Amino acid sequence: MRVQIALGDLCDPPSFRNALRGVRTVVHLAAVIRDQPGGSIEELNGIATWRMVQAAERAGVEHVVFFSALGASSHDRTRVLRAKALAERAVLASSVRHTVFAPSLVYAPGDRFLTLLERIAMLSPRMPISGRGEALYQPIWSEDVADCVMNALALPNPGERYELAGPQLLSHQQIVELALRAAGRQRRTVNLPASLVKSALSLAETLMKSRAPLTWDEAELLEVSMTSRRGCADVVGLGVSPQEMGAVLGLDPS
């Protein structure tokens, strides 16, 4: 399959016109989970996607593929998932043929989230967890996600929406403990009141701006469950056998 990377900027809607010229299928993966100098979470996730869909219609694009998130809702407690819900509605209402993928927590060895956990473990004898760590996820490996997308695009008539969930149901607490074991840095965890975490991260963001290692908007996402009632049925239906997180991170199954 021929893939072309087209340069555009979510902060610059006029750039969509050049980026979409001659393009048949758009795979829209761009998203932010913290405010950026060029726009807020709502502007860059929600409004920019709506504008991009409009530009795709004008450019004669045949198919728009969009990445939403499991549990995205206009009534969600997090800004990110509310913005994702707005973007998803814009895509589903489009006159262009469209496919939406709604994944749970997507991870890969060495990704930003896992790297941050490892760095905290290097600096602290205890691993802090915001809240009770009870939010549930069905983490899915990024390579399994990529295979789902490629297999869906190869179908003559791909579905309108797929929920991408891995084979395990894990809490935030369990994911942190598993990741630390895989990194060889087992630590006891300490659960901190969410109100305390919010105050500390908000202060850090005020002082450090974009250099803050973590923001409240990012931390809050780990207190909201992202699961599918269908489990990994959509993933399997696309011909992918999703891997367990421990296996991907190199843990011995025993």
Q: Structure tokens of 133?
A: 């760590």
CATH number given to 107-140+166-228: 3.90.25
Alpha-carbon span 184 to 214, nearest angstrom: 23
In the chain, CATH 3.90.25 covers 107-140+166-228
Section 166-194 average pLDDT: 95
Q: Which of 177, 198, 195 is nearest to 186 (CA)?
A: 177
CA dist list (Å): 143 to 62, 66, 130, 170, 235: 25, 17, 28, 19, 12
Kindly report the number of other CB atoms within 10 A of residue 18's CB atom: 11
Beta-bridged to residue 161, according to DSSP, are 100
The model's pLDDT over 56-79, given as tens digits with 9 standing for 90+, comes to 999 999 999 999 999 999 999 999
Domain 1-103: CATH architecture, name and number where available = 3-Layer(aba) Sandwich (3.40)
Section 138-159 average pLDDT: 95
Sequence-separated (6 or more) residues with CB below 8 Å from residue 33? 41, 80, 217, 218, 221
Alpha-carbon span 122 to 100, nearest angstrom: 38
pLDDT at 114 over 60: yes
The pTM for the full model equals 0.92
In the chain, CATH 3.40.50.720 covers 1-103
Q: Which of 229, 227, 203, 225 is nearest to 214 (CA)?
A: 203
The mean of the pLDDT values for the chain is 94
The model's pLDDT over 208-228, given as tens digits with 9 standing for 90+, comes to 988 999 999 999 999 999 999
Alpha-carbon span 21 to 16, nearest angstrom: 9
- H or E element at residue 174: helix 172-182
| Cβ contact 161:222 at 8 Å | no
